[in-house]
Chain A
Amino acid sequence: MSDLLRLTGQHLLIVAIAVAIAIAAGVPLGTFAHRRRRAGGIAMRITDIVQTIPSLAMFGFLIPLPFIGGIGARPAVVALVLYSLLPIVRSTFVGLDRIDPHVREAATAMGMTDRQLLWNVELPLATPAIVAGIRIAAVTAIGVATIAAAVGGGGLGTLIFRGVAMVDTRLILSGALPAAVLAIGADLLLTQVEHYFARRRGEA
């Protein structure tokens, strides 16, 4: 039981670190992509391609790499960041793109600087969409993190792989069920956060 708690905590920690890094990189990247369509389009294509790499293959690619790769929690976090990036970049872009151009024109005409426009108008209006992207990123990361155990990343995947090796269904389920519960729980929680922000802009 203490093993289960420890691995669950480890699982959540890896996911939390990875998603936090992905938010810190993805929101600015999505904003940049929206301002500079051409350069941003290329950045989005790259995150698109990264997203299509099968997760076990991704870990395989990371093992021989120095610094960010190898074995353990570090390549696990790197892989999860790469997977979490796309939904966050894309949802930031879409959230900004959906803003009524007249609202942007009004803000500019009232004397907001570019930075004030971004922080006071654009990002608040894009927040529900950005949170939706974070939700998808988190749920995906919780799933992919189970595979991180294959490269010694720890987490609930450890129990699943151990169970597979020992042909022990109970052991497999003791990793698989909590992982599923985590994913569903994160989905429900972040859906609530999304609704909270949508309500705050007076939409509900």
Chain B
Amino acid sequence: MIRAENAILDHISLHITRGERVAYLGRSGAGKTTALKVINGLVAPSSGEVLVDGTSIAQHALPQLRRRIGYVMQQPALFPHRTVFDNIATVPRLLAWPEERIRAECERLLDQLELPAATFGARFPRMLSGGQQQRVAIARALLASPEILLCDEPFSALDPLIRAELQHLLTAAARNTTLVFVTHDVREALRIAERVILFDDGRVVVDTPASAFLQHEHPLVRRFVDA
């Protein structure tokens, strides 16, 4: 359940089920990013509340909550002073995992994302291409097996071929995770999600299974589909 009211979001009430893959679709300024950021507390609702796992998120416990929630943005935002491996190890280290486990999980995940750990683990972010950096950002968000993965247009800065490849790799790597994926690209939303929530002007205007989205008669859906 997400309820938030502020300048950008107004009277939003959403329920996302564990394991569900949801796309927040909408034009820029529609409120979808804000609706995403209330889930991990990066944006605090001025009224209403956010429940994760049935519990209202509390300001003082946010760091602990966030370690269970992966977050990927449009910018990879890797730590420039840390190697690929150390970037990916961030959350497990906050959770005090043993180093051998971190290393093993990191190698497995990087292989799955087709970025071999042996070649890339010791490199610094600056030495990677944009697509490679975004793979590292995905690995960094997923290594601690978060219950929820939040993605804010993670692929919109990448070229179409790499984008399609990463969409595929992300959905495979996040198979057992609740996924909330913000995008303004209908095809991307339908490729990744099983449920599409369309935002407009700070409100939810359509909330539908992905399979029914293309047939939906809402005028904004028609404009998105025909565009």
Contacts and interface: CB of A to CB of B under 8 A. Distances in A.
Interface centre among A109, A125, A202 (most CB of B within 10 A): A109
B127 A111 contact: no
Nearest to A101: B77
Nearest to A198: B81
A105 B91 CA distance: 14
Interface in A52-96: none
A201 B80 contact: yes
Name the interface size band of chain B.
20 to 34
A107 interface: yes
A109 B79 contact: no
A111 B78 CA distance: 15
Contact of B124 (A103, A121, A201): A201
B38 interface: no
B140 interface: yes
Contact of A103 (B64, B71, B80, B141): B80
A110 B124 contact: no
A102 B90 CA distance: 16
A102 B73 contact: yes
Contacts of A109: 40, 42, 66, 69, 71, 150
**A interface majority secondary structure:** helix
A116 interface: yes
Contact of B42 (A105, A112, A116, A201): A105
Contacts of A103: 77-80
Contact of B77 (A106, A111, A125): A106
B67 A202 contact: no
Contact of A110 (B75, B81, B140): B140
Interface centre among A102, A111, A202, A203 (most CB of B within 10 A): A111
A124 interface: yes
Given A201-B124, A202-B124, A110 B80 contact: no
Name the interface size band of chain A.
20 to 34
A9 B137 CA distance: 51
A111 B63 contact: yes
A113 interface: yes
Contacts of B150: 109
A35 interface: no
Contact of B75 (A102, A108, A112, A124): A102
Contact of B63 (A105, A106, A112, A124): A112
A111 B67 contact: yes
A112 B80 contact: no
Nearest to A200: B81
Contacts of A125: 79-81
Given A201-B80, A202-B80, A111 B65 contact: yes
B175 interface: no
A3 interface: no
B77 A105 contact: yes
Contact of A201 (B40, B81, B127): B81
A108 B81 contact: no
A199 to B, nearest CB: 10
A202 B75 CA distance: 18
Interface in B45-90: 62-67, 69, 71, 73, 75, 77-81, 83, 90
Contacts of A202: 80-81, 83, 124-127
The 4 closest A-B pairs by CB, nearest first: A202-B124, A111-B67, A111-B66, A201-B81
Given A107-B79, A109-B66, A110-B94, 20 more contacts: A100-B75, A103-B77, A103-B78, A105-B77, A107-B90, A109-B42, A111-B64, A111-B65, A111-B66, A112-B63, A112-B94, A113-B63, A116-B63, A125-B81, A200-B81, A201-B124, A202-B124, A202-B127, A203-B80, A203-B126
Interface of B: 40, 42, 62-67, 69, 71, 73, 75, 77-81, 83, 90-91, 94, 124-127, 137, 140-141, 150
21 contacts: A100-B77, A102-B75, A106-B79, A108-B66, A109-B66, A109-B71, A110-B66, A110-B140, A110-B141, A111-B64, A111-B65, A112-B90, A112-B94, A116-B94, A124-B81, A125-B81, A200-B81, A201-B80, A202-B124, A202-B125, A203-B80
